[in-house]
Amino acid sequence: MTDGIRQNVLKELLGLLSLEKIEEEIFRGQSQDLGYGAVFGGQVLGQALSAASRTVPDHLCAHSLHGYFLRAGDAACPIVYMVERTRDGHSFSTRRVKAVQKGRAIFSMSTSFHKYEEGFQHQDPMPEVEGPEGVESDYNKILRHAKKLPEDIAKKLLYPNPIELRVVNPLNPFHPVPMPPDKYVWFRATGPLPDDAAIHRYMLAYASDFHLVPTALYPHGKTFWSPDMQVASLDHALWFHRDFRMDDWLLYVIHSPSAAMARALNRGAIYTRDGKLVASVAQEGLIRKVGKDKV
């Protein structure tokens, strides 16, 4: 993927996340097809946070969000985001967002914003893993093995991504074997971003949906592309702890502590290269054998 394509795809994503204001506290976002037909969950997360951010003063930054994926979105249609001003206080403001497509809610989210404050600090240390320079990107890895993949799957996987992803400990998709439920992923935007903290936050919300649910498949020797699996995000929670930049490398440390009843819990910790914990993630996902009842 050339630098020109990377820049164009990133520019397209920034445009998608900027949203069109169509009424007070009502916004519209276009959809991006990453090759799956359905809208990528991270796009809805990022756009919903962008919509909520447009309704609070500039001195407030998002510190948490909690959302539910209600229906699959159609990548061929725009999405309308309706924001409700739940509360505006001295230090915190809270918003509720409903994402609507074709007259039906596909996503709902509550998010909270906080003014900057000094305070106590502590954090879990970043694990010692190989740096991004020595890790092959997902795109290059897929390109190298494209001839081994069915044409339709290869086309989907090689769709240009505005986020560069490098998995330190990947599962072999051709011969998957059970592995511990832990994954380490370096990621960053494919080009420079504006100096706007809100943009970096909703870009991180977008990127935080990558690789979570598939980590729960590691112990079972399955992948997202296993033909007998139905895999989907059900909900998503994200907490922002410290400032960061999405155009510099971040390490996503993912662990799946439990899978049961066709659902799996996945937790993530996101660190800067110098070891600062900047965000935490939790998500439950559907991991279901094909042939049983679907959502």
Alpha-carbon gap, residue 29 to 294, rounded angstroms: 28
SS (H, E, C) the chain: CCHHHHHHHHHHHHHHHHCEEEECCEEEECCCCCCCCECCHHHHHHHHHHHHHCCCCCCEEEEEEEEEECCCCECCCCEEEEEEEEEECCCEEEEEEEEEECCEEEEEEEEEEEECCCCCCCCCCCCCCCCHHHCCCHHHHHHHHHHHCCHHHHHHHCCCCCEEEEECCCCCCCCCCCCCCEEEEEEEECCCCCCCHHHHHHHHHHHCCCCHHHHCCHHHCCCCCCCCEEEEECEEEEEECCCCCCCCCEEEEEEEEEEECCEEEEEEEEEECCCCEEEEEEEEEEEEEECECCC
Task: Give the length of the chain.
Answer: 295
Residue numbers annotated as active site:
209, 233, 283
